[in-house]
Amino acid sequence: MTTEKKHPALTEQISANKLYVRNSLSGKKELFQPRNFPKVTMYACGVTTYDHCHIGHALQALTFQMIKKYLEYLGYQVTYVRNYTDVDDKIIKRAAELGLKPLELASQMIEASQLDFEKLGIHPADHEPKVSEMIPEIISMIEKLIARGHAYATPEGHVYYSLKTKPDYGKLSHRNPDDMRHETRDVETGGKKQPLDFALWKHEEMPDSSWDSPWGKGRPGWHIECSAMIKAILGDRIDIHGGGRDLIFPHHENEIAQSECFCPSPWVKYWLHSGLLTIDQQKMSKSLGNHISIQEFLHKRPAEVLKFCLLQHHYRQDVNFSENVFNRGEKLLIYYYQIKKDLYQIKKNHQISHHQAQPAEFTPENLENVFCRAMNDDFNTVVLLSDLHRLFKQTQKLLKNIHNQNSPDNRTIKAVLNFLEFLDKISDVTGILREDPHQFITEAKARFLVSQGIKEDWLHNKIEQRQMARLNQDWQKADFIRDELDAHGIEIQDTSSSSEWTVRLD
């Protein structure tokens, strides 16, 4: 039976929204066609739990959550796995510095990351395996690699993957193994036969971080954990494997090598890699003083600012954040939420027939086309936000027409209400414009006044003085106060009966 006969409605829906993704393996955009339509299997590398999560971890998690949400928006059934690395050299070192057991530290950091992610609106994945819980599966996989001649154990109790058994090694990073050797130390430790052979099992006898195995006490190497988790939870082959671009080599390259010993190539159909994060054009680092934890960010700004600033970049692009970027992002969100607040008021005051005619660009079909046209091009949120900004500008003009008319045109009202429904519909995918508009605007304005050193009483007094000047038709004074406030980044919005202030878009 063909896929079309099994899922005719879903097939028609997805066919009308052909999604193209850039596959790191081929270096090209490819039509997305999962192996087992309409199901999609997806894995993304998670955090190594030796410290609190920073905003770089958030960007990767937000990116792949967005990808999952859009696939579900199209009608796919997605099973998403995001792991926790709770066994690692960094965890052992950090735990020793703090006087904790490694798994104790890892457990604390997992709990902290879950709380941070929840505050950012990052939902738990369908499965969130930990390395420490997958030791039997990892050992079983290593045993099979040895039995098939792809790995070897040393007298010291280490196990290495033998790179010479994988002729196409380097196909993901598009690098020649001979070139990679020049970047590898010539010293061969622990019985390693070739410089690029990598550890599957490390001999070590450390309480809380070593397990019994056929090769003695030890713990898994880094790369084997993801392969074992994928095989145990999602099966031998998957549709999407994601992570940051910095993981392409050696981590993902090594994952391919060991995993394709168990299944026909390609093991992963689509490799999706997100860009890297810099702060003021510098790599984020504690030593440089520009390290921003999620907790630190959320202490200063709402989660939506981070999400919105992320969406302003294509997920494959490197992201450069700065205070100016965050300030600009928050101002734009204030502007959008003010329009959305007005839209909710229109919805409350007007009941319009579902079949009411409306301007062509604001029909539900055309609005959805705007969304899908951008997202179907490898999740191009840059184009999406550009289109959204244009639609917000047009909506603002329509709202002014409604407010300036005693009997506003029903077509116009229907158009802006369609836009509101559209925003609510796509907010689950994008993660933005989901908050209560009044609360967001109020809190954002308060933060702005504090950042500018402006007292709220002073501002209200200026607005009252201007209102009085307008009542007295003292336009010179009214304009002077307006310009004075404008110099502080404050824009006055006048109506026939009152004046309100907002943060000016620069």
Q: How many CA atoms lie within 13 A of 212 on its CB side?
A: 0
How confident is the model at residue 185, as a pLDDT? Answer: 45
Q: What is the DSSP annotation of 214-242?
A: TT-SEEE-HHHHHHHHHHHHT-S-EEEEE
How confident is the model at residue 349, as a pLDDT? Answer: 87
CA distance 228 to 210: 17
Phi, psi of 505 (to 5 degrees): -80, 120
* Beta-strand relationship, 499-503 and 490-494: antiparallel
Whether the bond between 250 and the residue before it is cis, its omega within 30 degrees of 0, is yes
User: How far out from the chain centre does Cα 441 lie?
Assistant: 24
Question: What residues are paired with 271 via a beta bridge?
Answer: 241
Nearest Cα residue to 49 out of 127, 123, 128, 121: 128
Question: What residues are paired with 282 via a beta bridge?
Answer: 279
Tokens 């030890």 belong to: 218
Residue by residue, pLDDT tens for the chain (506 residues) are: 333 334 445 555 565 679 999 999 999 999 999 999 999 999 999 999 999 999 999 999 999 999 999 999 999 999 999 999 999 999 999 999 999 999 999 999 999 999 999 999 999 999 999 999 999 999 999 999 999 999 999 999 999 999 999 999 999 999 888 777 655 544 445 688 988 999 999 999 888 899 999 999 999 999 999 999 999 999 999 999 999 999 999 999 999 999 999 887 899 999 999 999 999 988 887 777 788 999 999 999 999 999 999 999 999 999 999 999 999 999 999 999 999 999 999 999 887 666 666 777 899 999 999 999 999 999 999 999 999 999 999 999 999 988 887 778 888 999 999 999 999 999 999 999 999 999 999 999 999 999 999 999 999 999 999 999 999 999 999 999 999 999 999 999 887 667 889 999 87
Question: What residues are paired with 277 via a beta bridge?
Answer: 319
- The pair of structure tokens assigned to 71 is 């696939």
Report the SS3 class of residue 292: coil
The model carries a pTM of 0.92
How confident is the model at residue 291, as a pLDDT? Answer: 87
Q: What is the DSSP annotation of 24-39?
A: TTTTEEEE---TBTTE
Report which DSSP code applies to 497: S
How confident is the model at residue 354, as a pLDDT? Answer: 61
Report which DSSP code applies to 287: T
